[in-house]
Copies of this chain bind each other. A is one copy, B any other.
Amino acid sequence: MARGVNKVILVGNLGNDPEMKYTQGGMAICTLSLATTSVRKDKDGNTQERTEWHRVKLFGKLGEIAGEYLKKGRQVYIEGSIRYDKFTGQDGVEKYFTDIVADEMQMLGGGEGRGEARAERSERPQRSAPPRREVPAAAKADFADDFADDDIPF
């Protein structure tokens, strides 16, 4: 339920391996650095490239799958929403962050030894049993547990 639409669709390549963290409650938080590059010709006919590096967050089971299967360089489809956050550092300086919170992830390219995974985020992040346990390549079906609300970082 909401008022408005906040939707992001990305296809890009990972600049690094996924970074994994876990909340006290054991929920996975996976952070991806995802590159999308646009190209245009300038007035001299030269090709100008510009790369955006998106910080993508995946929570719960979706984050576990991402951490398990994604690797630096891998191409991935992400669907989610934009979230803007502001923190004040110890130095009193305000810092701004923009994240893409993923609802859905799909590995692209298939092929040799690349595995296959796709998952969608349930209504809200779900407890993952023991962190880093073996995760099936295709998730989403058994998002079913409940989470202590304090665990959810948004």
Contact = CB atoms under 8 A, between A and B. Distances in A.
B4 A39 contact: no
A6 B75 contact: no
Chain copies in the assembly? 4
A135 to B, nearest CB: 13
Interface residues of A, number: 58
A41 B11 contact: no
Contact of A120 (B1, B36, B98): B1
A134 interface: no
Interface of A: 1-13, 35-44, 50, 52-54, 75, 77, 79, 81-84, 93, 95-98, 106, 108-111, 116, 118-120, 123-124, 138-141, 146, 148-149, 154
B109 A1 contact: no
Q: Enumerate the 6 nearest inter-chain pairs by beta-carbon distance, A residue then B residue, closest first.
A: A4-B36, A109-B109, A5-B11, A6-B36, A43-B149, A98-B98
Contacts of A109: 75, 108-111
